[in-house]
């Protein structure tokens, strides 16, 4: 992607990579789709009988597809900054891809479903162990029991420095707010003390 600057010189925008992660069925594909300015690349496949004993559908019984590689979306902030969004697969058997997807990212959103809170721990551990800044975004699904930010922070044993926000991954403005919070958090970690 090349833009023409005001002085007719070509400028190449700065690429900013963000990872959208979380457990199986937390809404990663939905978030990337809701906020991307381009039709998102999705690698969704139908769940099959072969995965019945592997895929835990407790709390998400209506789910019939899963991401098998990644989701990809883009947001152009201005002529000099473009966000690239990479949604991770949520199932354990596809986690070998996470290192590649996270390489070079300025930060990550860990989407959480309070109906399946235990599926959040591996994602949180992944980013903590690699020193990648992240925010926790509680995806407030229809009919899902709502908890306060403090209750979620306590249940996930999160440090006070890690932002926790409530969101609706289906809603573009809500997803944008989460991304802005992540960028602010990541930038604050880079700023000199």
pLDDT recorded at residue 56: 56
Per mean pLDDT, which range of 54-58, 80-84, 106-110, 160-164 is the poorest?
54-58
Secondary structure of 119-158 as H, E, C letters? HHHHHHHHHHHHCCCEEEEEECCCCCCCCCHHHHHHHHCC
Domain 3-190 fold is Rossmann fold (3.40.50)
Write the pLDDT tens digit of every residue in 60-69. 555 555 554 5
pLDDT recorded at residue 61: 54
Percent of the chain with pLDDT over 70: 72
What is the pTM assigned to this prediction? 0.80
Residue 93, token pair as written in the block = 């058997």
């Amino acid at each position: 992607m090349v833009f023409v600057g005001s002085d007719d010189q070509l400028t190449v925008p700065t690429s900013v990579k963000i990872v959208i992660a979380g457990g199986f069925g937390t809404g990663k594909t939905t978030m990337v789709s809701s906020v991307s300015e381009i039709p998102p690349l999705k690698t969704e496949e139908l769940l099959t009988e072969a995965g019945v004993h592997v895929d835990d559908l407790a709390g998400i019984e209506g789910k019939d597809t899963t991401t098998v590689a990644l989701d990809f979306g883009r947001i152009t902030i201005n002529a000099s900054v473009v966000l690239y969004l990479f949604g991770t697969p949520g199932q354990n058997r596809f986690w070998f891809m996470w290192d590649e997807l996270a390489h070079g990212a300025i930060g990550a959103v860990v989407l959480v479903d309070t109906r399946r809170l235990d599926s959040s721990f591996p994602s949180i551990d992944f980013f903590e162990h690699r020193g990648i800044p992240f925010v926790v975004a509680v995806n407030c699904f229809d009919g899902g029991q709502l908890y306060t930010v403090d209750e979620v922070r306590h249940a996930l044993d999160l440090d006070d420095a890690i932002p926790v926000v409530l969101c609706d991954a289906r809603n573009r403005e809500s997803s944008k707010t989460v991304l802005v919070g992540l960028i602010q958090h990541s930038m604050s970690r880079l700023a000199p003390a």
